[in-house]
Amino acid sequence: MPRKVVLAALAIVAVLVIGWAINTTTPPLGIVGTLGDTRAYDPPSTGPTTTHAYDPVPAGDPTTTHAVDELPAKVVKVTDGDTVHVRDQEGAHTVRVLGIDTPETVKPRTPVQCYGPEASAQTKKLLPVGAQVMLRFEGPTEDRYGRLLAFVETPEGDDLSEQLAYGGFARVYPMSSRYRVKETPHLLELQASAKQRGAGLWGACS
């Protein structure tokens, strides 16, 4: 047999042997790990992620975002200075007012705090039962407890958070808080004015 034919045959055999070795040792696409490991490959997600500059959530993680920025509603009840019950065409809702925190009056296992009754009374005065109000949303609009997270516009067109901060009926969440909102710098200015005047809790509570 001519030498060239023999060399060609040997080359073909070598290629076949190498191909067989690769097929038996290299895992197919979609399989990762060492030889014999047949766990399915789960490639990392390359899609965009969402980050928020602030987290306006007074309690719990956000669960819902409404498609609208404003929602008209009617006041049903005021629980305390920063919690209001309203009703709209979709039903009844509990609203946690954004940007501020009033002293506790009805929290379980928590004593009534200084200036809490006065803060509740002021909110009841600004939001009488049956009054038409406007809820204004910012970012996530519902927490894990099902409460709406919103600013509340009074029947006179004033912002409830601003009114309570300026009157010394509430403390404003600082910029370092996870509950800060876009209006926090303005609310802090109103709180500073209340402190300077000794208004509300700033004069009555140590």
| CATH number of the domain that residue 112 is part of | 2.40.50.90
Domain-located, residue 124 = yes
Domain-located, residue 27 = yes
Cα angle vertex 173, ends 142, 183, to 5°?
75
Q: What is the pLDDT of residue 44?
A: 32
Q: Check whether residue 128 and residue 80 sit in a common domain.
A: yes
Q: Check whether residue 129 and residue 36 sit in a common domain.
A: no
Using CA atoms, how far apart are residues 198 and 142, in angstroms rounded to an integer?
34
Q: Check whether residue 86 and residue 142 sit in a common domain.
A: yes
Q: Check whether residue 27 and residue 77 sit in a common domain.
A: no
Cα angle vertex 94, ends 88, 98, to 5°?
105
Domain-located, residue 61 = no
Cite the active site residues. Answer: 96, 104, 147
Lowest mean pLDDT among 61-75, 155-169, 185-199: 61-75
Fill in the amino acid letter for 46: T
Domain-located, residue 11 = yes
Q: Check whether residue 114 and residue 176 sit in a common domain.
A: yes
Backbone angles phi and psi of 41, in degrees to 5: -80, 130
- Composition of the chain by helix, strand, coil, percent to 5: 30, 20, 50
Expressed as residue numbers, the domain containing 155 is 70-204
Token couple for 176: 């370092």
Domain-located, residue 82 = yes
For the entire predicted model, the pTM comes to 0.69
Domain-located, residue 16 = yes
Average pLDDT over residues 165-178: 97
Q: Could you give the C-alpha distances from 29 to 18, 20, 38, in angstroms and in order?
A: 19, 17, 11
Helix or strand run (H / E) with residue 172: strand 171-172
Q: Check whether residue 102 and residue 198 sit in a common domain.
A: yes
Count of structural domains, the chain: 2
Query: Tell me: the pLDDT tens digits for 4-59?
Result: 554 555 656 555 555 554 444 443 333 333 333 333 323 333 333 333 333 444 54
